[in-house]
């Protein structure tokens, strides 16, 4: 195993005037204004194309409006909106005039928004709908720097266009020319899975460098063969921002903006993406939906056999082993009966899926790979403008998160096993937090990720845990909870699992139930879908189902590391109870705090 690795190749050499906005203008210069770059959803199954020229005209009109409103270079402007076409237009407009974009998750509360607006001195905020507009309006008097709030559903873009008629092309072009690659582009507040959110300052160089590097490293996905992306992840998250830029920076990429996922599967079929980005839960739900649709009878048994055959097929491919004639025939049979249908649920043209944001179980990755849908896995942080490493199409080793971008470096701290990274997409620091910034970097300038990892001889990174997640039992045993949690959440009716046991005599677990999967599972087991959640949490059949997966998890570790007792909660982890971040990551400290009494009394039998 290596302790340091630099991916061969040089980081893309960038111009001083190369910015997020120039990703759009460079595309138009290469391929013309008529190239379709965006699609707008008109209704169920209906999409309207938007040409590069139309998109650019809307960006320029919005940018001129920002200038007319007095937004100077370096001023902070907030977008408080679900993912939609207007988000993309405003994002490029802010980049064009050198304003600092400060996105807020569409699920954030008024109090969370207030903290962000004041910390970054936002002058203008743009909300998408009346509800979020009112959320901002309710705190306006407590935000001294906030001068104005616009609403997209109230024709904010039209208003900006109207304001901007007084701004000449010359004035606009002068502003564009004043923006350079190392200017601050955005302050993105981390979702706070390990503490209070911090504002990560990211420059144009950070985003442009990783966009171009990723496009080169993953050209089969992002550039080749008329790529189409349906984007539903929140654009307040760097992961979605990056892939939006990558799609628009390609020569003929089409990005469709989807504000919500209520009709995700029909939208996937109608939009016909060639690749899809999601968090593990999205791909788990697709798998579970296919399994439940097959049912418990013959079709159900067929699906389970086909799924296991796909995993075996994938593992043999990964090991470089040849398939037997029987396996080839079996695979062809399952392709016709099962695999084609599962792929088709993600759209008739789907070729690749990419997963980030949290670890994906190996079984699920092998399943998708085995049905002919390579699962590209990546690794990154807000502080690295989202991706830092990714598996390649031609080197997609399941279980790793691939190699870093060309010219970027990774190393392992031999004392702690921590992964540290260095590259042009690494942020410049936390806003107004010099001490936190200093803590984030080593003395020689490497970013500390807080993740433990190994690096193989080809530079592939395998994440093994988080430094702050390590549980030390009362007996002194160090336990990494993530592998146990991954195994338990394979249970179809489990939504989340959090392993506990720090300074305790044994390891326990908190489990939440998945309402969507339960709706299918309960009738098949003679239970009513109307059964109250508190009764389900105590139901013996539910516990027996979960126990099977707890046993599988325990089989992978020593007795000292095994889950001795678990509790099924009668509520879920949500953003409201602070147990989930807006990007749907579990906030372990919050879970331990919110459910402290449950942990103490029901797992460890403490007496009050």
In a domain, 582, yes or no: yes
DSSP 8-state secondary structure symbol assigned to residue 11:
P
In a domain, 423, yes or no: no
pLDDT higher than threshold 70 for residue 455: yes
| Strand ranges inside 95-177, DSSP E | 100-101, 122-127, 148-151
- Number of CB atoms found within 10 A of residue 526's CB: 7
Stretch 308-327: mean pLDDT = 95
In a domain, 598, yes or no: yes
If you average pLDDT over every residue of the chain, what do you get?
A: 92
Q: In which domain, by residue range, is 562 found?
A: 470-603
In a domain, 538, yes or no: yes
CB 202 within 8 A of CB 135: no
Encoded tokens for 390: 């990714």
In a domain, 296, yes or no: no
What pLDDT does 191 receive? 63
**At 599, which CATH number?**
3.30.300.30
Q: Read off the pTM.
A: 0.84
In a domain, 259, yes or no: no
In a domain, 113, yes or no: no
Stronger pLDDT, 103 or 43, i.e. the higher one: 103
Query: What is the number of domains present in the chain?
Result: 1
How far CA 163 is from CA of 57, 79, 177, 325, 386, in Å, comes to 15, 18, 21, 69, 34
pLDDT band with cut points at 50, 70 and 90 for residue 248: very high
In a domain, 583, yes or no: yes
pLDDT in tens, 116-137: 999 999 999 999 999 999 999 9
Phi, psi of 128 (to 5 degrees): -85, -40
- Sequence length of the chain is 608
Instruction: Give the helix ranges, DSSP H, for 277-371.
Output: 280-294, 298-319, 325-334, 340-344, 362-370
Stronger pLDDT, 584 or 501, i.e. the higher one: 501
């Amino acid at each position: 195993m290596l302790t340091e690795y630099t991916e061969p190749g040089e980081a893309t050499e960038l111009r001083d005037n190369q910015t997020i906005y120039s990703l759009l203008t460079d595309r138009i210069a290469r391929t013309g204004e008529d190239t379709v770059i965006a699609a707008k959803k008109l209704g169920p199954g209906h999409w309207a194309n938007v040409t590069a020229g139309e998109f650019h005209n809307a960006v320029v009109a919005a940018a001129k409006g920002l200038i007319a409103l007095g937004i100077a270079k370096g001023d902070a402007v907030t977008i408080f909106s679900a993912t939609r076409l207007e988000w993309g237009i405003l994002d490029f407009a802010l980049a064009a005039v050198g304003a600092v974009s400060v996105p807020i998750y569409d699920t954030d509360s008024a109090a969370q928004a207030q903290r962000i607006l004041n910390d970054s001195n936002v002058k203008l905020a743009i909300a998408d709908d009346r509800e979020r507009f009112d959320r901002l309006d309710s705190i306006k008097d407590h935000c001294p720097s906030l001068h104005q709030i616009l609403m997209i559903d109230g024709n904010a873009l039209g208003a900006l266009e109207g304001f901007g008629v007084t701004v000449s092309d010359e004035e606009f072009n002068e502003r564009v020319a004043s923006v350079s690659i190392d200017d601050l582009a955005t302050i993105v507040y981390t979702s706070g899975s390990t503490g209070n959110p911090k504002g990560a300052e990211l420059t144009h160089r950070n985003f442009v460098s990783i966009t171009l590097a990723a496009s080169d490293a993953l050209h089969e996905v992002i550039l080749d063969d008329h790529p189409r992306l349906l984007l539903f992840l929140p654009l307040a998250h760097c992961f979605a921002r990056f892939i939006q830029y990558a799609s628009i920076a390609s020569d003929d990429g089409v990005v469709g903006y989807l504000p919500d996922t209520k009709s995700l599967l029909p939208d996937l079929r109608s939009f016909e993406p060639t690749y899809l980005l999601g968090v593990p839960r999205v791909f788990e739900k697709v798998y579970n939906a296919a399994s439940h649709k097959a049912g418990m009878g013959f079709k159900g048994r067929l699906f389970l056999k086909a799924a296991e055959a796909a995993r075996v097929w994938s593992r043999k491919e990964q090991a470089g082993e040849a398939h037997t004639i029987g396996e080839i025939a079996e695979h062809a049979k399952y392709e016709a009966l099962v695999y084609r249908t599962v792929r088709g649920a993600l759209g008739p043209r789907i070729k690749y899926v990419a997963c980030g944001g949290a670890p994906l179980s190996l079984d699920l990755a092998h399943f998708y790979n085995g049905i002919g849908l390579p699962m590209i896995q990546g690794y990154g942080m807000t502080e690295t403008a989202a991706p830092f490493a990714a598996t390649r199409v031609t080197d997609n080793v399941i279980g790793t998160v691939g190699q870093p971008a060309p010219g970027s470096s990774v190393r392992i701290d031999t004392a702690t096993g921590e992964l540290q990274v260095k590259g042009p997409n690494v942020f410049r620091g936390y806003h107004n937090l010099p001490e936190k910034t200093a803590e984030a970097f080593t003395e020689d300038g490497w970013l500390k990720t807080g993740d433990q990892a190994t690096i193989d001889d080809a530079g592939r990174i395998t994440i093994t845990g988080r430094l702050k997640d390590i549980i030390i039992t009362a007996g002194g045993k160090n336990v990494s909870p993530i592998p146990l949690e991954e195994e338990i959440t394979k249970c179809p009716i489990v939504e989340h699992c959090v392993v506990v046991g720090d300074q305790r005599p044994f390891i326990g677990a908190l489990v939440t139930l998945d309402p969507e999967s339960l709706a299918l599972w309960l009738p098949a087991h003679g239970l009513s879908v109307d059964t109250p959640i508190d009764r389900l949490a105590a139901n013996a059949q539910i516990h027996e189902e979960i126990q099977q997966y707890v046993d599988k998890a325990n089989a992978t570790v020593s007795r000292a590391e095994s889950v001795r007792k678990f509790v099924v909660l009668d509520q879920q982890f949500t953003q409201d109870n602070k147990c989930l971040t807006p990007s749907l990551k579990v906030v372990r400290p919050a879970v331990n705090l919110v459910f402290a009494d449950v942990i103490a009394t029901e797992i460890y039998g403490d007496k009050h």
